[in-house]
A and B are shown apart, each in its own frame.
Chain A
Amino acid sequence: MSHSQLYLNLAVNGLVEGLIIAMAALGITLVYAVAKFPNAATGDFMTFSAYTAKGASVLAGGSLVFGAGVAVLASALLAALAYLLIFRRLAGRKLVAPLVVSIGLAFLIRNTLTFFVGTDPTVLPVPIVRAVEVGGIFLQPLDLAVAAGAAISLAAAFIVLHKTPIGRRMRAVAGNADLARVSGIRAGRVMLQLWLLVGMLAAVAGVLLAAKSVIEPEMGWHLLLPAFAAAILGGVGSPIGALVGGVLIGLAQELSVPLVGSTYKAAVGFVVILVVLLVRPSGLLGRDRSVR
């Protein structure tokens, strides 16, 4: 493989990794914009979805589609319960309260999963297929699935936010909660819809991550920091920002492997963020705390 071919391959890897980070960042950015706090349980919703998909697909004789479908429903339910039983009670409290509680929720989900399924890694029943080589660049069918999943997630988020009354209300609450109230918008209903949406997005991300990698209890948690970084980099509240932020971090990480070695590639992502935020504090596409 020539030098430039290597870097092109690394760029492809970075793009795919970045899309997964972007999907997680999308969930974070939406909750932050509307509910005004960083949800540290985002990764663990993904882990929960991965395990659910695995369990459901095994029960259905290996059907990945069935597994993914069940995962989406289960994750939406989990997110809705998290709101109804936990986050709703924290409405109006300072950001620290729901943030800390979400960390606790993350631990709770992770440890419950570990208790029942153990810590050994497992995989989704995805057939192993050789990559297609195009001019020295290797493309995996799974990469295309990840790209498609990211595209669908983003499109779904965009459509809901901008083409439906539900999304309009979410953006209103995100922009000005008091004004939304005096416009007759019920925050509770909007929040429930938000969490359902976020749960579904986390499921898509979790299933695709599981398909590409291995399923183990900390898989989502490990993605949390890059996902947060991507959300901040892209400007909190912007779904497009989440996509751009995620892809940039993914690319920076993978392209740096031959240069700084794998150990420091996570640091590279954060250096990128540092530089961008120094120049543009609200993130690449950010503005105030609303949702576009």
Chain B
Amino acid sequence: MTALLDAQDIRGGYDETPILNGVGLTIDRGEIVTIAGTNGSGKSTLAKALVGLLPRCSGTVRFDGRTLDAVAPEDRPALGLSYVPQVANVFPELTIEENLWVVEGVGNRRARADELFGRFPSLAERRRQLARSLSGGERQQLAIARALMLHPKLMVMDEPSAALSPRLVEEVFALIRDLAAQEIAVLLVEQRAREALAFSHRGYIMSSGRIVAQDSAAALLADQELARLFLGQGRSNAAAS
């Protein structure tokens, strides 16, 4: 079975300075893959490159059998590639329901939004409020809901747990596991690598714009040396798998 996403030799950055120096990865349908690495390793940049938002980028990305080189970022959601940025991931001056309705290319957008409101009841309660009035956790929910509008096959998520309290982090991670259960692949860029790997299938570790390790999540967690260098101290109570 061919991979859902197959990226090879991705290089580039925001200007002349290269941040990515030849990255390759694959993701299969329904997989959760975590990208870990220290700050500045290029994880977020890689995420941007995959969705087409990196100004200077070379390399090949194949998604669902199609080359994405000539596909503009606004055309990728329709193909099933969704993106949840780390910051600025909702439209603050639009209401919650407008945040969902504004997504282009949805068949019956109101019905789809209502479906998502079913899954995110706390958003449903406040659907007519402006998104900027949401708390951190609710904002993250809305960001994910927005990305779900178009029935994605792959969600690229950039540090969804950032700036969230431990309880909310667990909620978000539970949500992500749910997605995989529905056959939605998730590419997770995460600072809390141990916790993320705990429920991922596979992982990649990046340093200085390159992949320095890739393996099953369990194998990566078991490797003490790797874990010490790249995965941080970790938390004693990692999220349950």
Contacts and interface: CB of A to CB of B under 8 A. Distances in A.
A181 B74 contact: yes
Contacts of A178: 53, 85, 88
Interface in B85-133: 85, 88-94, 98, 101-105
Interface residues of A, number: 23
B93 A184 contact: no
12 contacts: A165-B101, A172-B94, A175-B94, A176-B91, A178-B88, A181-B73, A182-B83, A183-B74, A184-B103, A187-B74, A287-B93, A290-B92
A182 B73 contact: yes
Which 4 pairs show the lowest CB-CB distances between chains A and B? A184-B104, A290-B93, A184-B77, A175-B91
Interface in A133-177: 165, 168-169, 171-172, 174-176
B51 interface: yes
B138 interface: no
A168 B98 contact: yes
Nearest to A289: B93
Interface in B154-211: none
A168 B98 CA distance: 7
Given A165-B101, A168-B101, A185 B74 contact: yes
A291 interface: yes
A2 B85 CA distance: 64
B146 interface: yes
Interface of B: 51-53, 72-78, 82-83, 85, 88-94, 98, 101-105, 146, 150
Given A171-B98, A186-B74, A287-B93, 19 more contacts: A165-B101, A168-B94, A168-B102, A171-B91, A171-B93, A172-B94, A176-B91, A179-B85, A180-B91, A182-B51, A182-B82, A183-B104, A184-B150, A185-B74, A185-B102, A187-B74, A290-B91, A291-B93, A292-B93
Nearest to B90: A179
Contacts of A174: 93
B151 to A, nearest CB: 12
Contacts of A179: 85, 88-91
Contacts, number: 74
B98 to A, nearest CB: 6
A175 B93 contact: yes
A120 to B, nearest CB: 46
A277 to B, nearest CB: 21
Contacts of A185: 74, 102, 104
Given A168-B102, A172-B102, A182 B94 contact: no
B98 A175 contact: no
A131 B63 CA distance: 71
B205 to A, nearest CB: 26
Contacts of B91: 171-172, 175-176, 179-180, 290
